[in-house]
A and B are shown apart, each in its own frame.
Chain A
Amino acid sequence: EDQVTQSPEALRLQEGESSSLNCSYTVSGLRGLFWYRQDPGKGPEFLFTLYSAGEEKEKERLKATLTKKESFLHITAPKPEDSATYLCAVNNAGNMLTFGGGTRLMVKP
């Protein structure tokens, strides 16, 4: 059975304080690892897709990396508007997304 575990569950940062979120996974036949951002009461917003170990993608203050067992979402010099829940998901050979529980990020000014 596919499993995704995210840590930490919650993270408080000061504005400008860089950090990383972790996503550990076990999956049969990885067809992609996805990062989404979700604001309270809204649907997840797509950020990145990673397909193979060693791959990296960047968008503004966010950078996602992938190894064979985990992915990291690095946040550089975060701002209060980066506060949200960040979700990691894997797409297996059956084409269904399995999500982790998310990391709730709070950035204080």
Chain B
Amino acid sequence: DAGVTQSPTHLIKTRGQQVTLRCSPKSGHDTVSWYQQALGQGPQFIFQYYEEEERQRGNFPDRFSGHQFPNYSSELNVNALLLGDSALYLCASSNSPTDTQYFGPGTRLTVL
């Protein structure tokens, strides 16, 4: 049974560019949440998708947007990249919005 998968593993971008990160949830899960983790800190909640809609959003600017597809996979888009966006981006999936969240391996984004 495949767990949560994310792509790409690593990504290097320059300031001002746009990036798209992808996530496939664990089999049987219908809810996807995204987190940003800066080096040496705990993950910070970006937003959660359920039934193809954004259900909950953390304290992140509109440059961060997302999408959930009918097969429950999800994308995270970040526009106008800043140096401070460099981080590990984590995707987590769950059986429902209230259930235990299981994390993927993350995408390491470096903005130069």
Q: Which residues of A contact B (CB under 8 A)?
A: 4, 6, 31-32, 34, 36, 41-46, 49, 87, 89, 91, 94-102
Contacts and interface: CB of A to CB of B under 8 A. Distances in A.
10 contacts: A32-B100, A95-B48, A95-B97, A95-B98, A96-B33, A99-B43, A99-B44, A101-B40, A101-B41, A102-B42
Contacts of A97: 33, 35, 43, 45, 92, 101
A34 B100 contact: yes
Contacts of A96: 33, 45, 48, 56, 58
Given A95-B55, A96-B48, A31 B98 contact: yes
B8 to A, nearest CB: 14
B66 interface: no
B25 interface: no
Contacts of B90: 43-44
Contacts of B33: 96-97
A86 to B, nearest CB: 11
Given A97-B101, A99-B42, 17 more contacts: A4-B42, A31-B98, A34-B101, A36-B103, A41-B108, A43-B103, A44-B90, A44-B103, A46-B101, A49-B100, A87-B42, A95-B98, A96-B33, A97-B43, A99-B35, A99-B44, A102-B42
A43 B104 contact: yes
